[in-house]
Amino acid sequence: MLRLKVEVPVTRDRTAFATLRDGSNIVATGRAVASATPALAAKHANPRCDPLRPWGHPPLGRYTFLNHEPAARRETSDYGEHLLLFQPESGQALDAESFGRLALLAFGGPARRRTQGGLRLSDEMVGIVVRGLRAGEGLTLELVPWRPRAWWQFWKPPQVTPESLAPHARDQRAPATPELTLLEALLRKSLRRARDTTSDNDTHHDRDSRRDPSGSSSRESFQGKGGAGGGAGASGRWSDEAGAGRGVDSAGRILGAAAAIGGVAAAAEMLGNESHASDSGDSNAASSDSGAGADTTTSTAY
């Protein structure tokens, strides 16, 4: 799996730096441009180059590779030989999708030249990526803020200082074919990938289950439907909580029942003793009464 990471200056006034990795190995590095042209963006009602809106800077975040095709001959002077299309997956890139930025176009072309909202890589980097794709490699893209290395981060590769971008006068010359036209044409030929939202749904349901005042009863019903393996995801949190809830409740019920049974047995024993004592007393009293009655009868007979 190829992973292309582009470190972008926060102010977007200088070049970015791209690193292509295959696993843990660095395959290639090079400068990149992740800055839109202010003059062109202003013509399309985005004077601040807002990354969330069309014609703005490329949004930060994670992308997955969607499609690629060679550039037409008339477009190579502006975009290089290949066009790469990426689908937003997370971060600011996903937020921008709701504003109409459905994909990100990456390409080569003149170094240090601003874009119309896409990502410019070096021609060498694009060529290496395309060869990897043709060999069957997967590809992901991530745009992150550029931060200078701390003095103690000696294990990381040497960091290249961002350079100034090309003068605005050169940026204002619009390409023969706008980036948006190329992006839309390539997007129509692409099959968008379904996103995996399982973890988000699990988090949402897990949050709701903790808020549920019924507690273990709702988790027990979910558990009984196979939720321990299918709904908890990798964390297994629901399964653990549900099991603990049932164990405590069950133990409480068992102990309560045992205490109740023990109480009933003790009460019955006490009642039995009292009844036995009462019967003995009554019997003794009856004997005394009988004796008294006999004496009375005898004295009466005399």
155-160: long-range contacts, CB 8 A cutoff, minimum separation 24: 157/19, 157/26, 157/29, 159/17, 160/17, 160/29, 160/31
State yes or no: pLDDT of 296 exceeds 70.
no
The helix-helix angle for 198-211 and 216-224 (nearest 10°) equals 140
Question: Whole-prediction pTM value?
Answer: 0.65
- Choosing among 1.10.1040.20, 2.40.440.10, 3.40.50.2000, 1.10.3720.10, the CATH entry for 2-188 is 2.40.440.10
pLDDT beyond 70 at 45:
yes
* Measured distance CA(141)–CA(170) in Å, rounded: 28
Is the model's pLDDT at 297 over the cut of 70?
Answer: no
Domain boundaries along the sequence of the chain: 2-188, 212-291
Q: Tens digits of per-residue pLDDT, 232-289?
A: 333 333 334 333 444 444 444 444 444 444 554 444 455 455 444 444 444 444 444 4
Question: Starting at the edge strand that comes first in sequence, how are the strands of the sheet with 61-70 ordered?
Answer: 25-32, 16-22, 2-8, 139-145, 61-70, 82-90, 104-107, 119-120
Terminal Cα-to-Cα distance of the chain (whole angstroms): 126
Residue carrying the six token digits 């990100």: 104
The per-residue pLDDT for 194 is: 77
Give the range among 39-43, 164-168, 172-176, 204-208 with minimum mean pLDDT: 204-208
What is the biggest distance separating any 2 CA atoms in the chain, rounded to whole angstroms?
Answer: 151
The region of weakest confidence among 2-11, 100-109, 134-143, 215-224 is 215-224
Average pLDDT of every residue of the chain: 75
- Select from 58, 106, 103, 108 the least CA-distant residue to 79: 108
Residue 19 has pLDDT above 90, yes or no: yes
> Does residue 86 surpass a pLDDT of 90?
yes
